[in-house]
Structure 1
Amino acid sequence: MLTRHCHPLPDNFFCDGPYYVLTSASLGNSFLTPESLAEILRAGEETAMRSLLAQGLCLPLFFPGDCAFDRAILVMGELTPDEEAEWIGRIQSKLHIPCGQLLLMCGGGSPEDWLGAMGGEGLQGYRDYFQVLDIPAGDYLVEVLTYVASMSVDFHWEEENGDALADWFYQTRPGEALPQWIKTFQASGFIGELSDELVTYILHLTPLTTEPSLPALDAEIGWCGEFEWRRPVLCPRGIPRSQYPGSEAASLAW
């Protein structure tokens, strides 16, 4: 069984847009160059994008707004019972990481950004838009999981009623105190202000054993932003960020 490792993205990671790309620092040892990959991502053409996903060469993600994924928690190995029970939305795909370096980058439509990230020097000395994680080389199932304080859940629950959420909590967790995220939702209609206190997204990696279905592509953009939504059996309490180790490092290695 793979040993569990987890770490928040470093505090200095910053994406000034809604687009993120997960890939390997070697681009999967593929035919791709920074120029050709940037061109494919800019075009967002369905056949080419599905080919990238089918080969596990990258996972292009977009979110409802800027900086949404900046406070994600990286988890390799088994999820905790709470992490498994409390996710609201999920995107699944696969990644081919033959070089043992997982690359998470903001943007993706500029060859210069790719060259800076793959070389480790950044763009004109600016490095905060990418992170490289050293992991065992191989093929991985990757899951992007959303939790109650995420921007994606805020948008998904635009029509949700705060009192109905409270009823859900009391029905499934009788005798427990109402969590702050529901009180915040009742007062303001969104939960995002708690994103510094609660887990927003988890990026979960496990060794690939079964080919996952290809994630859905947005019809206009051609990137992956459509989550598989569910209503957990137990209403979430919200997972405190304080239970995870610090995120001060500029780069991560396991």
Structure 2
Amino acid sequence: MIVERCYFPLPKYFFCDGPSYVITSSSFGGSLLTPETLPELLQNGDEKVINQLLEEGICLPLFFPGDCALDGAIFIVGDLTPIEEQEWIGRIQSKLKIPCGKLLVVCGGGSPEDFEGVIAGNGINDYTDYFCVLDVPKGDYLVEVLAYVSSMSVDFYFEENEPLTEWFYRTRPGEILPQWLETFQSKGYIGELSDQLLTYIVHLTPLIDEPSLLTLISEIGWCGEFEFRRPEICPRGIPRSYYA
């Protein structure tokens, strides 16, 4: 399968007032699962069960350390640009089957009501801002959740690692500190800059090799443990206007 690059910001109306999201397809990966049976498996949080859902490419259940984390994400099908590839700091990789061509993003996803209303097109408890359907080419995908400097995941990671200014000055000698780094220096967190900078990319490419099983959050049983790296050059942050 060959796909051309396309990208979709989540709609401005999308709002998740919790830490959980489920990325799946409207056909649940072409499985026999239903809006009633999938949430039962997700609620169970059993490692074997969740791993089976991941191995079969049925869904990617995500849990973040706070609310609304993924609301500003950009979904990209196809190749990343050089700056998108260079600047990611955290990554989660899994498999996702989308035989129907309908990528489904659901806030919560842990109860039958979440999926029953979504599949029917009525939303969750009649609220349509808790889910989103994106049209993508039909096929099997490698899905990567990539976390950037102003994301919640990287914010927590930064709090526990080497001083960022040392990294910046070592790899960008003579350059002026970007605003997000100045804010982190003074406050200890990046704060409201997530409104101006890219937070997460959900990246889909045709599946070639099976990804390794993810490390699950032990208390929850969902995915949220990112693989972190330190890029060779400290990121400056990607403005949201990059996707205007």
Classify the TM-score, shorter chain.
over 0.9
225-234 or 165-174, which deviates more: 165-174
TM-score, scaled to structure 1: 0.93
* One-letter code aligned to 1:196: D
Alpha-carbon offset, residue 107 of structure 1 = 0.5
Distance 1:192 1:223 in 2: 26
> Contact 1:7–1:244 at 8 Å: present in 2 too?
no
Distance 2:99 2:160 in 1: 43
Alpha-carbon offset, residue 105 of structure 1 = 0.3
> Contact 1:76–1:205 at 8 Å: present in 2 too?
yes
State yes or no: 1:81 paired with 2:88: no
The residue aligned with 2:222 is 223
**Within 5 Å, which residues of 2 pair with 1:90-239?**
90-160=91-161, 164-239=163-238
Alpha-carbon offset, residue 159 of structure 1 = 2.8
> Contact 2:77–2:136 at 8 Å: present in 1 too?
no
Secondary structure in 1 aligned to 2:93?
strand
Moved over 6 A (4+): none
Distance 2:108 2:138 in 1: 24
* One-letter code aligned to 1:178: L
TM-score, scaled to structure 2: 0.96
Distance 1:176 1:155 in 2: 25
Which whole-Å deviations, capped at 9, do the CAs of 1:196-222 have from their partners, x for residues lacking one?
100000000011111111211111110
> Contact 1:150–1:192 at 8 Å: present in 2 too?
no
Across the aligned residues of Structure 1 and Structure 2, the Cα RMSD in angstroms comes to 1.1
* One-letter code aligned to 1:19: S
Distance 2:161 2:209 in 1: 35
The residue aligned with 2:15 is 14
> Contact 1:150–1:200 at 8 Å: present in 2 too?
yes
Alpha-carbon offset, residue 160 of structure 1 = 3.9
Distance 2:55 2:45 in 1: 15
Identical columns (%)? 66
Which whole-Å deviations, capped at 9, do the CAs of 1:160-219 have from their partners, x for residues lacking one?
46xx31121121112222111110000100013100100000000011111111211111
Distance 1:192 1:87 in 2: 18
Secondary structure in 2 aligned to 1:203?
strand
**Within 5 Å, which residues of 2 pair with 1:238-249?**
238-245=237-244
